[in-house]
Amino acid sequence: MASDSAKQPLLLALLDPTPQTNKRDTPKRRRFRRCKSAPLAEYNPGQVNANVASLPHSQSILDRLHPSFKRVAVFLTIYLGVGTLCFYLVSPQINGNKTNGVLDAVYFCIVTMTTVGYGDLVPNSVPAKLLACAFVFTGMALIGLILSEAADYLVERQEILLVKALHISEKVGQMEIMDEIETNKARYKCFLVFVSLLVLVAVGTIFLMAVEKLDLVDAFYCVCSTVTTLGYGDKSFSTKAGRVFAIIWILMSTTCLAQFFLYIAELYTETRQRKLVDWVLSRKMTKEDLEAADLDNDRVVGAVEFVIYKLKEMGKINHEDISLVMEEFENLDVDQSGTLSASDIMLAQSSETVK
């Protein structure tokens, strides 16, 4: 019992120095900060962009881009380059509504990789058909990579600008903006992507009406058919100008809709997780819980026991996490004192040198 109460300051030391009262009514979700020496490449891209907005402006645009974003850009360039070359070489074996050799090859490549597949250009020989099969599978994988790495990075950058803009009238610091973003992350991202999608739909519809001379319903129908990658193909981009626009617009709008669905799913998961946390915290402790949480059987539950019981109930930690770390602790605790001190570390290092 004494040891449990002695433990409490340790846990309190983990917490913010601010008073704990009413913390749950005004939750300030602080971003977990990575240990400085942790390997960057191993990390979730969502967790390393915290300081993106504070990068010095003197860096070049390329330097300021996130490594995973740069990698995706390189892959996309290679893919489109090779795809265009291949389809340009087999262009005599592609039937349909043609405009300009290279332009049609890029357009066909984009229509294939995004799985829109209008069918306004169709491969008409064995090699051309097999090429299309190869490019649609690799294209899907590439779109998946764009969605998982680059898109999220772009949205997070915009998110910071959005929240800054929303609070432009108030004097708020970088820290408050970060907290605000952290609390409503999934919601802001959904909102941003939804607005981008509306803009892309509007731009596409207007363009199809102006350049491809479609009426409003047909233009909207073609836009819907494209962003969803449905691509019936009865309406598509048939002019040179239309195809130049399509190359950029199709890639942006299809990934935007897919990202929107991903963020909806994220928002749903987050809400569900928060509900579980609220339920775990607000649930009344019963005598059975008390017994289950009382790991050392001293008939009282200390702060540490309580934290571990609740975190396990929330699904944040499990037996294995703790057992792996404890094993490491025992290995490090060379003098078996039950604590790690500077001498343990020196002993461990010297014993390794001996080996």
* Binders in 178-237 for its own copies, by CB under 8 A: 217-218, 220-221, 224-225, 228-234
Of the residues 85, 283, 350, 351, which one makes contact with its own copies according to CB under 8 A: 283
Show the tokens assigned to 21.
Answer: 């009262």
Phi-psi region of 96 (alpha: psi -120 to 50; beta: other; left: phi over 0): left
> According to CB under 8 A, which one of 165, 284, 353, 354 is a site residue for its own copies?
284
**What x-and-dash track marks residues 257-276 binding its own copies by CB under 8 A?**
x---x--xx---x--x--xx
The least CB distance from residue 330 to its own copies, in Å, is 7
Tokens linked to 167: 């609070």
Kindly state whether residue 321 participates in binding its own copies, applying the rule CB under 8 A: yes
Q: How far is CA 192 from the centre of its chain?
A: 14
**Quick one: 61 or 126, whose CB is closer to its own copies?**
126
Q: In whole angstroms, what is the distance from residue 91 CA to residue 79 CA?
A: 18
Q: Between 1 and 241, whose beta carbon lies closer to its own copies?
A: 1
| Interactions with its own copies, residue window 326-345 (CB under 8 A) | 326-330, 332, 337-342, 345
Q: Number of residues interacting with its own copies: please give it, by CB under 8 A.
A: 128
Tokens for 7, please give them: 């433990």
For residues 260 and 294, the answer to whether their CB atoms sit within 8 Å is no
Around Cβ 151, how many Cβ atoms within 10 Å? 22
Which residue in 93, 99, 115, 239 binds its own copies (CB under 8 A)? 115
> Under a CB-based contact definition with an 8 Å cutoff, are residues 233 and 119 in contact?
yes
CB of 310 to its own copies, least distance (A): 5
Place of tokens 């919601």: 187
Cβ 168 to its own copies shortest distance, Å: 28
The token duo for 114 is 């995004």
**According to the binding rule CB under 8 A, does residue 148 interact with its own copies?**
yes
- Which residue in 146, 169, 186 sits closest to 270, CA to CA? 186
| Positions 23 through 42 that interact with its own copies (CB under 8 A) | 23-24, 27, 29-30, 32, 34-35, 37-39, 42
Nearer to its own copies, 101 or 119 (CB): 119
Burial 277-289 (b: 16+ CB within 10 A, else e): beebeeeeeeeeb
295 belongs to the binding site for its own copies (CB under 8 A): yes
Amino acid type, 84? T
Cβ nearer to its own copies, comparing 67 with 144: 144
Q: Give residues 71-90 in contact with its own copies (rule: CB under 8 A).
A: none
Q: Which is nearer to its own copies, 56 or 338 (CB)?
A: 338
Q: Which stretch binds its own copies (CB under 8 A): 141-149, 150-158, 204-212, 240-248?
A: 141-149
Q: Which of 5, 59, 97, 351 binds its own copies (CB under 8 A)?
A: 5
**What is the residue type of 301?**
V
* Smallest gap from residue 30 Cβ to its own copies (A): 5
What are the structure tokens assigned to 113, written together? 């990789």
Applying CB under 8 A, does 62 fall inside the site for its own copies? no
What gap in Å lies between CA 205 and CA 307, rounded to an integer? Answer: 55
Distance separating alpha carbons of residues 352 and 154, to the nearest angstrom: 46
**Which has the closest alpha carbon to 191: 169, 223, 220, 165?**
165
Residue 280 engages its own copies in binding (rule: CB under 8 A): yes
Question: Residue 316 in contact with residue 21, Cβ under 8 Å?
Answer: no
Q: Could you tell me which of 127, 62, 65, 122 has the C-alpha nearest to residue 94? A: 122
Between residues 59 and 349, which has the closer beta carbon with respect to its own copies? 349
Question: Does residue number 10 form part of the binding site for its own copies (CB under 8 A)?
Answer: yes
* Of the residues 74, 85, 141, 198, which one makes contact with its own copies according to CB under 8 A: 141
